[in-house]
Structure 1
Amino acid sequence: MVFKVIEGGRGQAALADEWPEAGHGPSPDDVRWEAARRLNESGYHLSRVREFATGAPMPAALRYLSLQIDFAAEALSRLDPIPVDFRSDAYWPTSS
């Protein structure tokens, strides 16, 4: 099993000031985009395709990571207001 380091908040620090207007912050769609990015970076989709093609089950760790990312995205998107630093690694699960 190969794990990749997912670059989160630190790599996206330049995007943290994306909502300069007062009263306008990140939307639930922004959170979903971040969740999709993290899932793509984890190798989940490649493993899922491999599972369909070969019948070999994907690693349980990747399946569990997907559930954790979905849960974190759902929880973050329900916050009012959504934290401006929602891309920070502190809000998201790690693959370890």
Structure 2
Amino acid sequence: MVEDVEAEARRRLKALKVNEWRTREFISGQPMPEEIRHLALQIEFAAAALVRLSPIPDDYDDDLYWPRVWDR
């Protein structure tokens, strides 16, 4: 179940294109937008909190447990 929560966090980070932003930041020196950085930290925090729950909720992938992604 821990692996499932971590996979959900990776899915959400992938949807934000966090790796692409980090690569861009590394190559160009232009920082990742603060809202992307902040949301990525929130996703990582939510995943860490969920894996510490006993038991991990069956609906761990529900948006209720994860930070809200704004509309761009």
TM-score (norm 1): 0.70
Structure 2 counterpart of 1:78, from 35, 52, 60: 52
Identity %: 50
For residues 5-84 of structure 1, the aligned pairs below 5 Å read 27-84=1-58
Structure with the higher fraction of residues in helix conformation: 2
Displaced runs of 4 or more, over 4 A: none
- Count of residues paired in the alignment: 70
TM-score (norm 2): 0.91
Structure 2 counterpart of 1:87, from 57, 61, 66: 61
| Maintained 8 Å contact 1:61/1:95 | no
CA RMSD of aligned residues (A): 0.8
Higher relative contact order (CA 8 A, sep 6+): 1
Amino acid paired to 1:70: E
Amino acid paired to 1:82: I
Unaligned runs of 5+ in 2: none
Tell me the SS of whatever aligns to 1:66: helix
